[in-house]
A and B are shown apart, each in its own frame.
Chain A
Amino acid sequence: MRLDVKDATFAYKGNEYVFEGLTFSVREGDLLSILGPNGCGKTTLVKCLCGMLDLKEGEILLNGKDIRSLKTIDIAKNIGYIAQEHDPTFPYTVLEVVLMGRAPHLGWFSLPSEKDIKIAEEALELVGISHLKNRPYTEISGGERQLTLIARFLAQQPKILLMDEPTSHLDLKNRIFILETARKFADDGFCVIMTTHLPNQALNYSNRIILMGKEKAIAVGSVEEVMTEENLSKAYGVDIRILSVNDQDGNEMRLCIPVKCGKGVVWDDA
C-alpha cells in the first residue's frame, strides 16, 4: 500500500501557486510530517491527498491508481482523514461518532449491524476511551475528542491516516499521547501523514518530512536531509538554530530554536 505524488501543482485561482512540482512517496511504516508556518498550504496539500481538492497539474496515485478515477467510497476505504477544525452541532455519543467510521463499508440503504458496533467498541478499547462510550461528544475534552476521532479511524479500517494539526488546542500531556499514538500506528504498519507548524514535533516524530515555506515547498526527504538550519530559516523567514542537548541518561535530544538579535527566544511548545 503506497501513495505516490508526482509533480503535484496546485493553485486556488489564477497563478497563485500553493505548491509546485511536488514529488514524493509514502508507504506503510512511514511517519511523514508536513511542516511549515501557518498559511503555507499544508491543509491544502492534505486535502489534495485525500481527493477533496483537484490538482492543477501532476497526479496522485493510490496503490497505483489515479486518485481522480476513484470513487469517494473507495478512497475512504484506504485513507482516513481527521480535519483540523471540528465543530459538531449535535451531541452524538462517542460510540455513535466512532460508528460513523463504518460508513465506507456500508451500502446506501444499510444500517450498522451488530458486527459494525462490535468493531466500533473494539476501536474504543484500543484507544483506551471505552469508559466514554455513552458520553456526548460535545461534553468531552479536546484530547478525548481527538482520541474519539482516532478510534473512528480505526473503525474505518483504512491503511493511511491523514491528520491535520492533530495537536493544536491540546495540552502538553495529550499532545505527547497523540504523537506517541501516531508513532505506534506507523510502527504497526499504517502510513501516517501529519501536518504541523511546530518544527520540534516534526523533528522528533517523523522519519520523512515535507518542509513548506512562504513560497511553495522547499524540501522533501528524510529528516536528516530536510531539517537543516538553512532550510528552516528560509521556510519560516526567521533565523533558526538546531541544538543538540544531552539528557541525564546521555541520550541526544535535538531542538529547534529561533534566534533574534543573537539572543535566543524560547518557544513554549514541544
Chain B
Amino acid sequence: MVIKIPKLHSMIFLVAMPLLIFLTSLCIGRYPIPLQTVIAILVSKILPTHSEFPKIMETVIFQVRLPRVVAGALVGASLALSGASFQGLFRNPLVSAQILGVTSGAGFGAAIAILLSGEPVLTQVSAFAFGIIAVGLAYLISRTYRSPSTLTLVLAGIIIGALFSALTSLVKYVADPYERLPSIAFWLMGSLSMISIGDVFWMLPPIILGATVLMLIRWRINILSMGEEEAQALGVNVERLKLTIVACSTLMTAAAVSVSGIVGWVGLVIPHIGRMLVGPDHKVLLPASIAIGSSYLMIVDDIARTLTVSEIPLGILTAIVGAPFFAYLMRKRMVGWR
C-alpha cells in the first residue's frame, strides 16, 4: 500500500518542512534564549538594525547551534539520498550506503588519525579519504572477477567493510587507553557536538557535487532498478551509471561521516518512508529523501543535545528511534516494495 500525495502538497512539504524544522532547531537549546530574541538576532544579520545583543547569545546561535543544525541537515540529507540511490542501484530495499564499506573505511581513517596525531582537521580528512579508499578497493576487487556484476560489488564491499572494521579494532587495541582510546570510541559512536562553521564549509563541496549529479540522473535510476539487462536494452550505459551512482553516494557519505561519525539507520529507513509517501519513482523519491532525511536528523540531534545535559550519541538515538519505527512499517506492510 502506498499513499500518494498530490503534487502541489508534495512541493510544499519538501521545501517547507526542512526549512521550518531548521528554524525551530535554532530556537531550541539548553541555553535559554527567548524566541523573540532568536528571531531578532537572526534578522539582524540580514537587515541592518541598531540593536545590540549580548555577545554570548550570538555565540550560542551562530557558533553552537547554527553549525550543528546545518551539519545535521546535510548529514541527514546525504545519508538518505545515498541510501535511496543504493537501494535503487542494488535493487534491494535493505541496503544503505554503508554496504560498500564507506563507513568502515571512514571509521578506520578517523581511528588511525586520532592514534597518530589527534589533530581534529587531520582526523576529518583521514576519515573522508579512507571512506573513499575503501569503496575504491571494493570496486577494484569486484573488477577482478571474470564476470563482474552487482552481486560481486556487494560481496567485495562486505569484504572490505569487514577488513576495515577489523583494522579499526586493531587500532583500538594498541591505542593509549588514557588519551587516544576514549577519543576514538567517542568518534565512532557518532556525534555532532563541537562542530564549528569551518567543519560545515568543508563538508559542502563533496556533498553538493554528489547530490547535484545524483539529482540530475535520478530518473535513470528507475530504469537501472528494473534490472541491468533490461536497462541495457533500453539504451542505458549500465557500467557508467553504476559507477556514477557509487561515486556520488560515496563522496556524500564519506563527507557526512567524516564530520558526524558513524550514524546508522538514516540511509536505510528514510528512503522507505519516502517510498511510502511518494512512491518508488526516483524522480520524486530522491528529493523526498533529502527533505525527510535532513528533517529527521535535525530533529534527532535536537533531542540529543537538549534532552539531558549529558549528550546522547547520535548513532544510538537514530537506532532507538529507527528500529521500532521500521518494525512498525514492516508489520503494517506499508513498505514501498514487494
Q: Is A189 an interface residue (CB 8 A)?
A: no
Contact B234 A76 (CB under 8 A): yes
Contacts of A89 in B (CB 8 A): 91-93, 225, 337-338
Q: Is A128 an interface residue (CB 8 A)?
A: no
| Chain B, 178-217, CB within 8 A of any chain A CB | 216-217
Q: Closest chain B residue to A109 by CB distance? A: B216
Q: Is A220 an interface residue (CB 8 A)?
A: no
Contacts of A92 in B (CB 8 A): 222, 226, 279-281
Q: Closest chain B residue to A78 by CB distance? A: B235
A80-B233 contact given A108-B220, A112-B219, CB 8 Å threshold? yes
Interchain CA distance A75-B234 in the complex, whole Å: 9
- B314-338 interface bits toward A, Cβ cutoff 8 Å, 1 = contact, 0 = none: 0000000000000000000000111
**How far apart are A52's CB and chain B's nearest CB, in angstroms?**
6
| Chain A, 35-61, CB within 8 A of any chain B CB | 47, 50, 52
Interchain CA distance A100-B225 in the complex, whole Å: 11
Q: Is B2 an interface residue (CB 8 A)?
A: yes
Q: Closest chain B residue to A50 by CB distance? A: B233
Interchain CA distance A108-B225 in the complex, whole Å: 16
What interface size band does chain B fall in? Answer: 20 to 34
Contact B236 A72 (CB under 8 A): yes
Q: Closest chain A residue to B212 by CB distance? A: A109
**How far apart are B245's CB and chain A's nearest CB, in angstroms?**
12
Interface core residue of B217, B219, B279, B336 (most chain A CB under 10 Å): B219
Interchain CA distance A96-B219 in the complex, whole Å: 10
Contacts of B88 in A (CB 8 A): 90
Contact A104 B234 (CB under 8 A): yes
**How far apart are B235's CB and chain A's nearest CB, in angstroms?**
3
Q: Is A101 an interface residue (CB 8 A)?
A: yes
- A80-107 interface bits toward B, Cβ cutoff 8 Å, 1 = contact, 0 = none: 1101001111111100110011011010
Contacts of A79 in B (CB 8 A): 233
Q: Closest chain A residue to B213 by CB distance? A: A109
Q: Closest chain A residue to B4 by CB distance? A: A134
Pick from A75, A83, A87, A109: contact of B217, CB below 8 A.
Answer: A109
Interchain CA distance A101-B223 in the complex, whole Å: 9
Contact B232 A72 (CB under 8 A): yes
Contact A103 B226 (CB under 8 A): no
Contacts of B275 in A (CB 8 A): 90
Contact A91 B337 (CB under 8 A): yes
Interchain CA distance A50-B234 in the complex, whole Å: 11
Interchain CA distance A79-B92 in the complex, whole Å: 29
Interchain CA distance A83-B219 in the complex, whole Å: 21
Q: Is A172 an interface residue (CB 8 A)?
A: no
| Chain B, 267-284, CB within 8 A of any chain A CB | 275, 279-281, 283
Contact A108 B233 (CB under 8 A): no
Contact B216 A108 (CB under 8 A): yes
**How far apart are B324's CB and chain A's nearest CB, in angstroms?**
24
Contact B283 A111 (CB under 8 A): yes
| Chain B, 257-306, CB within 8 A of any chain A CB | 275, 279-281, 283
Contact A100 B280 (CB under 8 A): no
Pick from A47, A87, A88, A104: contact of B235, CB below 8 A.
Answer: A104
Contacts of B222 in A (CB 8 A): 92, 96, 100
Q: Is B118 an interface residue (CB 8 A)?
A: no
**How far apart are B133's CB and chain A's nearest CB, in angstroms?**
27
Contact B219 A91 (CB under 8 A): no
Interchain CA distance A136-B222 in the complex, whole Å: 14
Contact B281 A83 (CB under 8 A): no
Contact A138 B219 (CB under 8 A): no
Contacts of B281 in A (CB 8 A): 92-93, 96
Q: Is A73 an interface residue (CB 8 A)?
A: yes
Q: Is B29 an interface residue (CB 8 A)?
A: no
Contacts of A101 in B (CB 8 A): 234
Q: Is A214 an interface residue (CB 8 A)?
A: no
Contact B237 A72 (CB under 8 A): yes
Q: Is A175 an interface residue (CB 8 A)?
A: no
Q: Is A145 an interface residue (CB 8 A)?
A: no
Interchain CA distance A47-B92 in the complex, whole Å: 25
Known: A104-B235, A156-B234. 6 other contacts (CB 8 A): A72-B237, A73-B235, A81-B230, A91-B280, A92-B281, A96-B281
Task: Show 17 A/B contacts (Cβ-Cβ < 8 Å), sorted by A.
Answer: A72-B235, A72-B237, A73-B235, A76-B236, A80-B233, A83-B230, A83-B233, A89-B93, A89-B337, A89-B338, A90-B91, A90-B280, A91-B337, A97-B226, A100-B226, A108-B217, A108-B220
